[in-house]
Every structure is written in structure tokens, then in C-alpha cells.
Amino acid sequence: MRVASTSEPMNYTALARKWRPKRFTEMVGQEHVLKALANALTEGRVHHAFLFTGTRGVGKTTVARILAKCLNCETGVTAEPCGKCSACRSIDEGRFVDLIEVDAASRTKVDDTRELLENVQYSPAGGRYKVYLIDEVHMLSAHSFNALLKTLEEPPPHVKFLLATTDPQKLPVTVLSRCLQFNLKRLPVTLIAARMAEILGAEDVKFEPAALQLVAHAADGSMRDALSLLDQLIAFGGGAVTATAAREMLGTIDRDRVIAIADALASGDASQLIAAAHGLEEWAPDYAAVLDELAGILVRVALKQAVPGYDLSETVDVALIERFAAAVAPDDVQLYYQTAILGRRDLPLAPDPRTGFDMVLLRMLAFRYAGPGVTASPGVTAGVCATARASPASSHGVPQGGVPATSLDASTWPQIAAGLELSGLSRQLAANCAFLARQGAVVRLGLDARHESMRTKAQEERLAQALSRALGESVRVEIEIVEAPGETLAADRARQSANELEAARVALADDSTARALQERFGATLHPETVRPTGK
């Protein structure tokens, strides 16, 4: 009796290989490609050359191998190969003589290509078709492409070419024009995570869904990369697939830390923001990766603001996205995003990564929008800037920090709205409301139907609280949707801007230099091109 030595290698098959799809129905995603191929096979309209493009690990060579099986299955050309005949089994095991797989990266010379194509004219040894699968075909030399092109122009009826590449831009147009092209997309995070959950269930491995989300994000759309990382995580965690182990293996920080930074950014609190940033130090983070994650959050916030019904199902922190979208103005979100991606680029120029990261966050607050002609500074909310801007009203009997209740009417409402301590969407709501009436503790405001999406219960409550502080007494706000709401702060500002623009155009028309240019050189003045430059 022989006892196996513990030093003998174990027969373990990597998940990416073990769970590689063997038929179209087993593939995850890429429905647009699979449907087209299935229809072509079913209808007997199979082109002689196919080009599969897409980033690594999305299924290019897998689709090509399944297609080769469909063409050579002993039951006939079909979109559903049996998987049991000798041809199907041989292709699955990588020993089908009529499936010639070539890595173009290692066979770039023209002699290699000519040698490869010398046997094209001969009939298949055992299959129905001789299939050439050329991976990374863009790596072929110009002469090799010429040799391949001659065969693609007049291929024998028993030959099919399946080309795959991650860089189709490098292929000659003469080759592209002779192939049916299919672009395989990056797989979404939810799809990758769901597939990994299925596989782990079948493998009887316990897991935390948050861990799969982290791995799926790290895979960047590649199912193969996701399964390779999953294999690594199982080994790293000693058979346990946990979020803690995933973060440690991937070098990512606790997502709660990024959420804390995002919340501080939304509130506009500089001290809270820097404190949250310094809380990352114990993780020794990759600050560029943190900015990437923050930028990803901002993208989803912008989408939620632009499309209120946007599906956030792929987002881990739906509550954060909704909080941020309600608290921060869309123009500020755009500024934050731009600052994040430009700051990421400039991190190598900073004295050290943490200093650069701190400055990126402070820059977001320093240049955020606080109204026409006003730029907020760190630690000062947009609402405070609005109050300060409205302070000249004190010379008209309106004390700074509050207004007498008797002064609240249609004529004073735009001025009062400008002084309210509000920011983000609630500030925009106040600017687009008009005063209708006041009945005791109830202030009725009118909102144009075009801006109805601004009106939410949370924003109405913020507006009521700010107005109560300004009036020095508790009031309740009721907002009605009307066709012509009357005078609003937004309309007042738009009118003022239009007047200033018209004045600038008139001044330009009367400018002596402009007139001299017209008279001396025949220049033509286009007043409509005059644009405000900001203050």
C-alpha cells in the first residue's frame, strides 16, 4: 500500500479554467454578440472571417472556441453543440487538429505567417471546417498582414478565420473590411459579482457579498481577472472570502473612510474633511486610488441629479449618493469631479502623496460656487457667503442676520431669498420660488412647473428652517406649482445679467477703438458674440 506524500502537487484547476463556458448559454453577458452568432449558425449564414474585439478577459477567445465547436459538432452546424461527440470533446481539451490556435504576439514575422497559411488549401483532417484562431492579431507585422489578406480575400470554403484583439485600431482597414466585427463589452460589476456568487455556491465556499463587490470592482470589467483574483482571495483568506481579507489583499481602504470624506465634502466642513482624510493614514493608502473612488462616487451623484430615476443598483452606497445629490449643487459636483481627476494627475508633483491629497480636497472647497461673483473659501458654507453678500440690505432697514416679519412680501422676497443660509439644491429651490402670500405662520411660495423636480420634502424643510432663522420666528413653507410664479431671485439675477450684457454691447458699439477699426479696416462688429466673463 502506497501512502501519498504531502509534498506531491495537488491537482487543482484554477477557477477561470474550470468554469470557462463551453457553450453560448453558459456565457455571462455579451448577449448582443451571442444572439448574432446564434442566428447566423441557425440560418446557415456563417461568414468566413470574424473579428472579436474588447479588453482582456471579456470572452473573446472563449466565444471563438465555442464558435469553432458549433461549426464542427458531429450533430451538424448548430448554435447548441452537443458537447459529447469527439469533435466537441477534442476542442474542449485543446487537442482538435483542425482548430489551429495562434498567438500573434509570438509569431509576428512574415515567414511564420506564410508557414501557417501554407496548409489552408488542404481539407480538414477530421472536422467539417479548418478553423484558424489568431489571438492578439494586431501584433502581426505589415508583411504578415499582407500574407493574411491574400487568404482572406479568396478563402477556401472549408476554412474559417476567427481573429481576436484588444487593439483593433492597429489593424489595416483592408483586413477590417473583410471581417464581421463584434465588440465584446466590459462586464458590469453586478454581473461579475453574481457570477462569482454562483461559482462559490457550486464550490461550497462561504463568502461575504461585500467581498465579491470589491473583487468585481478591482477586475475592471474582466471576468477572467475577477476569477483569478477570487482564486487568490480564497488562498489569502485561508478558504474564507471576507470583505476584510479582500481589502487587505487588494490594498483598498475601508469604504467607510471614503464615505466619511464624501460626507464631509457634502457638508462643506473643512476641518471635518481634513480629519477624515487623515484617518486614512493608518491604512497607508494609495491616494490616487482614493481619488479614483471619490471620482466614481461623484459620477453617480451627477447622474442621480441629472436623471432622478437613474438606477443605482450597481452602487454600494445608495444612501450616500442620494444624500450627496440632495445636499450639493450640480455645478459643485462637476467642480469636485474635475478637481479630483486633475488632482490625481498632479499627485506625483506634490511634496508627498498625503500632502497632495489634502490640497486636492481643500481645492474642492476653495473654488466651489457660492453665487454670482462670489467664491467660497474653506470652512465657509455657500449659505454664509449668500448672507454676507446680502448684508448691504441693512442700510435699507433690514438688519444683518434677520429681517422683520412685516417686510416679507413680493417685492422683498428676492432679497430675502438671497440672504437665506442655504446651499445646494435647497438654495436653487429658494432662488426659483416666488412669494405668493403669508397667512400667519404659513408662507406660501410659487414654483414654476419647469423646476418641479427641485421640490422634495427634505428641501422644503431646509427652506422653512432657513426662513425661520431669517425671520426670527417659526414659519411653515407651502410650495405650489404654478405656471407664472412671479418675481424670483433667479429671474432677478437673469434680468440683471441681461441688462449688464446689453450695456456692454452698447458700450462696445460706442467704443472709439471699435469704430476706428470698422472705418479703417472695414471690420464688422458682431454684438451678439459678446459674452459675460464673470466677476
Task: Please report the DSSP string for 460-529 in residue order.
Answer: HHHHHHHHHHHHTS--EEEEEEES----BHHHHHHHHHHHHHHHHHHHHHH-HHHHHHHHHH-----GGG
59 has pLDDT over 70: yes
In our burial notation (b when 16+ CB lie closer than 10 A, e otherwise), range 192-207 reads bbebbeebbeeeebeb
Looking at residue 41, what is its pLDDT? Answer: 94
Query: Strand, helix or coil at 439?
Result: strand
Give the span between the Cα atoms of 293 and 341, in whole angstroms: 10
**Strands in 121-255 per DSSP E:** 130-135, 159-165, 180-183
Phi first, then psi, for residue 86 (nearest 5°) are -65, -35
Phi first, then psi, for residue 100 (nearest 5°) are -100, 105
Residue scoring higher pLDDT (227 or 517): 227
Upper half-sphere CA count for residue 140 (Cβ side, 13 Å):
29
Q: Which residues contact 47 (CB under 8 A, 6 or more apart)?
A: 40, 179, 180
Cα 80 to Cα 41, 124, 201: the distances in Å are 9, 22, 26
For domain 15-183, the CATH class is: alpha beta
Q: Which residues contact 54 (CB under 8 A, 6 or more apart)?
A: 60, 166, 183, 184, 185, 186
The amino acid at residue 215 is V
Read off the pLDDT of residues 478-508 as tens digits, 9 standing for 90 and up: 998 887 667 787 777 777 777 777 777 777 7
Helix axes 243-250, 223-236, angle to 10 degrees: 110
Question: What is the grid cell recorded at 247?
Answer: 481589502
Residue of 433, 429, 426 whose CA lies nearest to 447: 433
Upper half-sphere CA count for residue 83 (Cβ side, 13 Å):
9
Looking at residue 503, what is its pLDDT? Answer: 72
Give the span between the Cα atoms of 69 and 85, in whole angstroms: 10
CA 530 to chain centre: 36
Question: What is the grid cell recorded at 435?
Answer: 412669494
Give the span between the Cα atoms of 200 and 223, in whole angstroms: 14
Looking at residue 281, what is its pLDDT? Answer: 81
Q: Which residues contact 31 (CB under 8 A, 6 or more apart)?
A: none
Using 50, 70 and 90 to split pLDDT, how confident is the model at 208? very high
Looking at residue 49, what is its pLDDT? Answer: 94
Ranked by mean pLDDT, the top range of 285-289, 334-338, 403-407 is 334-338
Read off the pLDDT of residues 398-422 as tens digits, 9 standing for 90 and up: 333 444 444 788 888 888 888 898 8
Looking at residue 217, what is its pLDDT? Answer: 84
Looking at residue 375, what is its pLDDT? Answer: 40
Q: Average pLDDT, stretch 129-134?
A: 93
Count of positions (residues) in the chain: 535
Phi first, then psi, for residue 242 (nearest 5°) are -115, 160
Domain at 405-487, CATH from 3.40.30.10, 3.30.300.150, 3.40.1160.10, 3.20.20.70:
3.30.300.150
CATH topology of domain 255-366: Zinc Finger, Delta Prime; domain 3 (1.20.272)
194 has pLDDT over 90: yes
Cα 189 to Cα 17, 25, 237, 257: the distances in Å are 20, 20, 22, 21
Using 50, 70 and 90 to split pLDDT, how confident is the model at 115? confident
Using 50, 70 and 90 to split pLDDT, how confident is the model at 391? very low
Looking at residue 527, what is its pLDDT? Answer: 66
Give the span between the Cα atoms of 505 and 530, in whole angstroms: 7
Task: Write down the domain spans for the chain.
Answer: 15-183, 189-250, 255-366, 405-487, 495-529
Looking at residue 532, what is its pLDDT? Answer: 56
Give the span between the Cα atoms of 173 and 526, in whole angstroms: 45
CB 245 within 8 A of CB 237: yes
Looking at residue 381, what is its pLDDT? Answer: 36
- With 0-12 / 13-18 / 19 or more C-beta atoms within 10 angstroms meaning exposed / middle / buried, residue 269 is middle
Looking at residue 384, what is its pLDDT? Answer: 31
Query: Are domains 189-250 and 405-487 of this chain identical in fold?
Result: no
Q: Which residues contact 335 (CB under 8 A, 6 or more apart)?
A: 364, 367, 368, 369
Give the span between the Cα atoms of 291 and 194, in whole angstroms: 27
Cα 104 to Cα 8, 149, 282, 403: the distances in Å are 36, 15, 46, 77
CB 299 within 8 A of CB 337: yes
Looking at residue 524, what is its pLDDT? Answer: 73
Q: Beta 159-165 vs 49-53: how paired, if at all?
A: parallel
Looking at residue 313, what is its pLDDT? Answer: 63
CATH topology of domain 189-250: Helicase, Ruva Protein; domain 3 (1.10.8)
Cα 92 to Cα 126, 225, 465: the distances in Å are 16, 21, 68
Read off the pLDDT of residues 34-48 as tens digits, 9 standing for 90 and up: 999 999 999 999 999
Q: Average pLDDT, stretch 198-204?
A: 94
In our burial notation (b when 16+ CB lie closer than 10 A, e otherwise), range 303-325 reads bbbeeeeeeeeebbbeebbbbbb
Looking at residue 96, what is its pLDDT? Answer: 93
Alpha-helical segments (H) within 237-283 = 243-250, 255-267, 270-278
**Strands in 28-104 per DSSP E:** 49-53, 99-103
